[in-house]
Amino acid sequence: MSDKKNFETLAVRTQSETTQFSEHSVPLYLTSGFVFEDAEEMRASFAEEKQRDLYSRYSNPNVNEFVDKICLMEGAEAGFAFASGMAAIFSTFGALLSAGDHVVSCSSVFGATHGLFTKYFPKWNINCSYFDVKDVDKIESLIQPTTKFIYAETPTNPGVDVLDLEVLSKIAKKHGILLIIDNCFATPYLQQPIKFGADLVIHSATKLIDGQGRVLGGITVGNKELIREIYLFSRLTGPALSAFNAWVLSKSLETLAVRADRQCENALKLAEFLESHPKVKWVKYPFLKSHPQYEIAIKQMKLGGTIVAFEVEGGVDGGRNFFDNIKMCSLSANLGDTRTIVTHPASTTHAKVEPEVKKAVGITDGMVRCSLGLEHIDDIIADIKQALEA
């Protein structure tokens, strides 16, 4: 029998060491600190001559289990887990960037990430140049001697555009810079950016990894030297994931594959339904043949993801009418939940993004982001249909 385990098996069977109680399900290690046998063990542990947990801001058995699982799933050498996706993004940038550095980023990024690039980084003299998803050829012309990395999400939030990971990685390698990918929309089950040459992969674990809308979490995995930098920064600044949230997230990973399979199936069915509905101006889903980057999506993703983006006819009023008539789906800003969620990005997740940037990345006033859950697809379609036709 081969030692190489499949994704589903790793998700279920990767577990921290069993205690003297021989428990089957992993216990919750709610402890801020850990004790030492004697002064020498304490010294050697803090000097990192001995590998062990010292303090839960640095590491904790529940957090370690969660990190180990994601590393195995993403094919990464090491990782560090955070209290939220934004903590992962900020700490990764904070650890790797210095004053005077420059970043090349896709313009279609999560609203809060855009806020870091535009509001906070300039005050530390860190600047960012944006490229459009449709204009990857422009990336090389944006790279400067001070550029540290290329940053992108794929699929993007909220427009579900897809970027070619292989192409991005070739450009990064040619210029001796890093490639950092926010893999939140795909999850490690659908796409592993490291396989295509990414150096670091970031997740908001709050989304499909938790999958049930309960806890916040984030993680960065990848090259071990880079993770070491991120670890040293985070151990001082304190954005660590809590043991409780890590325990929840590690349990959630056990069901990620089955949840994602069904949620992606629901998403494709909804996208196909919307494509033929007269009240829908356009619909985007990576595994629809009409998606502009369909060929790239099928090359690098196992399934099309759980998010469908579409625009309701009638602009702002059409959009408002749609949301006001939704009966079953949740009007919420989260995504990746077992409950189907409809969001209005223009007034919520991307409200603080400047109007011209919103326009450039295709966030229109009537755009709906639908995160497919696990309800029966007939009931999801029935709710969306009646809201479109109300």
Number of residues that bind ligand PLP (CB under 6 A): 13
E strand segments, the chain: 78-82, 102-106, 127-131, 147-153, 178-182, 200-204, 218-222, 280-284, 307-312, 330-331, 341-343, 367-371
Question: Residue 89 or 384: which CB sits closer to ligand PLP?
Answer: 89
- For residues 256 and 209, what is the distance between their CA atoms, to the nearest angstrom? 6
> Can you tell me which of 218, 286, 305, 345 binds ligand PLP, judged by CB under 6 A?
218
CB 45 within 8 A of CB 95: no
- The least CB distance from residue 369 to ligand PLP, in Å, is 10
> Can you tell me which of 161, 182, 199, 383 binds ligand PLP, judged by CB under 6 A?
182
Give the list of residues 6+ apart from residue 232 with CB closer than 8 angstroms, or none.
Answer: 95
> Can you tell me which of 91, 169, 206, 300 binds ligand PLP, judged by CB under 6 A?
206
Q: Is residue 184 a contact residue for ligand PLP (CB under 6 A)?
A: yes
Structure tokens at 221: 């995995």
- For residues 57 and 174, what is the distance between their CA atoms, to the nearest angstrom? 37
> CA 55, 183, 285 angle in degrees (round to 5)?
150
- The least CB distance from residue 204 to ligand PLP, in Å, is 3
Which range of residues in 40-48, 163-171, 179-187, 253-261 is near ligand PLP by CB under 6 A?
179-187
Residue 203, judged by CB atoms within 10 A of its CB (0-12, 13-18, 19+), counts as: buried
DSSP-derived letter for residue 107 is S
Q: Is residue 311 a contact residue for ligand PLP (CB under 6 A)?
A: no
Which range of residues in 36-44, 182-190, 253-261, 363-371 is near ligand PLP by CB under 6 A?
182-190
Q: Which residue is nearest to ligand PLP (CB)?
A: 85
Q: Is residue 343 a contact residue for ligand PLP (CB under 6 A)?
A: no
- For residues 231 and 241, what is the distance between their CA atoms, to the nearest angstrom? 12
Q: Is residue 85 a contact residue for ligand PLP (CB under 6 A)?
A: yes
Question: Residue 319 or 336: which CB sits closer to ligand PLP?
Answer: 336
Residues of the shown chain interacting with ligand PLP in the complex, contacts defined by CB under 6 A: 84-86, 110, 153, 157, 182, 184-185, 204, 206, 216, 218
